[in-house]
Chains A and B, each alone.
Chain A
Amino acid sequence: MSAYDGVVQELIDELGQLPGVGPKSAQRIAFHILSADTERVHRLATALTEVKARVRFCEICGNVSEEDQCRICRDPRRDGGLLCVVEEAKDVVAIERTREFRGRYHVLGGAINPIDGVGPDDLRIRELMTRLADGEVTEVIIATDPNVEGEATATYLTRMLRPMGIVVSRLASGLPVGGDLEYADEITLGRAFEGRRSIDV
């Protein structure tokens, strides 16, 4: 079904492999690249090869990094007693945006999902245990996704961490800021009730 010759079709096929890019979009992007000036295309090509050559995973937390250790693990101003456990590197960015958290992170690389064959041994749980062994970390905040898999991962981690004498906490679930209570689904609203807190004035 190759409609174009040689390299043009190759480019369309490669672009079509990207997430969310269908055959029609791939063709559109390919022709956009063809009509763009050489300088811009070169910058795109460099960015693509550089990202693959330079970016790796932080040897401590598993976050994406250009060095052996990521920026957050190297930062001495970070609170070494607090550790936030997340599923993916994208979640680190989301939490960093809040500017609320000043500790360090640990990226698991996913959640326990037996139906897809992902068990505890497929995640970076052993690395987490090694990290906690020196006793510097006093509190672990589990920030896995608020779905069944994330919840099960949190349960599994809690069971392993409790005997080590570490404070384990879980991110709260509840109402989104700026929303209407009447539109909340009963499960989220139920969680919000469960996790309600007293107001100190």
Chain B
Amino acid sequence: MGVVDRGASGTHLAAREIVLCAVVGDNGRVKLYRDEAIVLRTHKLGEADRIVTLLTRNYGQVRAVAKGVRRTSSKFGARLEPFAVIDVQLYAGRSLDVITQVDTLAPHGRALGSDYSLFTTATAMAETADRLTEVPGEPATQQYLLLAGALRALADRRHPATLVLDSYLLRALAVGGWAPSFTECARCGESGPHRAFSAPVGGAVCMGCRPPGAASPAPETFALLGALLAGEWVSAEASEEKHRREASGLVAVYTQWHLERQLRSLRHVERA
């Protein structure tokens, strides 16, 4: 098979073949593929190259080499900035893929780089997406769509940045399989509302299941968390500052507990 073999599930195979047909021309053996992607982060490589971590729509996370992009004469260096949504063509290399062409779909870099709190917020989202899609070759279309939507909301300043971040973190974890519960008890399923919150157990806990050291957030905070998870912006935006702060703290603890490591950028997020 002359095409690149990425992601094994049947549904994605079809999607991949459609994408591949578009680029595999007369020479069917050329290992090129094309997809939409979000630039999560970049590393310097050698003299003038970069390794770019992409979250693609159909192939999951891809680490690819962008050659010569650090030179001022580079034609696509500007398109491979973090947070940019791009249409990218890659060549499947032996260890890392090589980026051959890039087109911009949404250049969020400008809007997010010129506002410090938006920049730090977007970085925390990109790092979370990076961690959640670490398994190479595993398609992560839902994570892609979620991050693309969150970055757009952030760049357009549609909602307050901290709410976008917390909502993104909760929903990204839910997609990843760590959906929190904010009404029923996360252990016994008893219907709520409950008064205690425990990140290790998975959200709200009833008085009977409450482990030692569980937090006791305000009922309004529970309501805000529920709204953020469901994407109910009207009620989320009606919340008070102190409940937003409390919710952010709980979301940070919940995220880092379930990702089993610290998010380095979360500490630097500037909450306006």
CB distance B119 to A148 under 8 Å? yes
Q: How far is the CA of A179 from the CA of B83 in the complex (A)?
A: 28
* Interface 9-mer from B89-97, B176-184, B217-225, B264-272: B264-272
Interface size bracket, A side: 20 to 34
Pick the contact of B267: A119, A159, A186 (CB < 8 A). Answer: A119
B75, CB-defined interface residue at 8 Å: yes
Which chain B residues lie closer than 8 Å to A113 at the CB level?
A: 123
Residue picked from B72, B73, B104, B116, most chain A C-beta under 10 Å: B116
Q: How far is the CA of A152 from the CA of B111 in the complex (A)?
A: 10
A187, CB-defined interface residue at 8 Å: yes
Assuming the contacts A115-B265, A155-B119, A176-B72, asked whether A185 and B79 have C-beta atoms less than 8 A apart, the reply is: yes
CB distance B46 to A156 under 8 Å? no
**How many whole Å from B119's CB to the nearest CB in chain A?**
4
Chain B, range 122-150, C-beta contacts under 8 Å to A: 123-124, 126-127, 130
A183, CB-defined interface residue at 8 Å: yes
Assuming the contacts A176-B72, A179-B73, asked whether A114 and B120 have C-beta atoms less than 8 A apart, the reply is: yes
Chain A, range 96-121, C-beta contacts under 8 Å to B: 112-117, 119-120
CB distance B115 to A155 under 8 Å? yes
Assuming the contacts A20-B47, A114-B265, A115-B265, asked whether A187 and B107 have C-beta atoms less than 8 A apart, the reply is: yes
**How many whole Å from A158's CB to the nearest CB in chain B?**
9
Q: How far is the CA of A113 from the CA of B43 in the complex (A)?
A: 11
A169, CB-defined interface residue at 8 Å: no
Chain A, range 167-199, C-beta contacts under 8 Å to B: 176, 179, 183, 185-188
CB distance A115 to B264 under 8 Å? yes
A38, CB-defined interface residue at 8 Å: no
Render A51-86 as a binary contact track against B, CB cut-off 8 A, 1 for contact. Answer: 000000000000000000000000000000000000
Chain B residues packing against A (C-beta within 8 Å): 41, 46-47, 72-73, 75-79, 81-83, 104, 107, 109-110, 112-116, 119-120, 123-124, 126-127, 130, 264-265, 267-269
Enumerate 14 A-B pairs (CB-CB under 8 Å) in ascending A order: A20-B46, A112-B268, A113-B123, A114-B127, A114-B267, A148-B119, A151-B114, A155-B113, A155-B116, A176-B73, A185-B76, A185-B78, A185-B79, A187-B107
Chain A residues packing against B (C-beta within 8 Å): 19-20, 112-117, 119-120, 147-149, 151-152, 155-156, 159, 176, 179, 183, 185-188
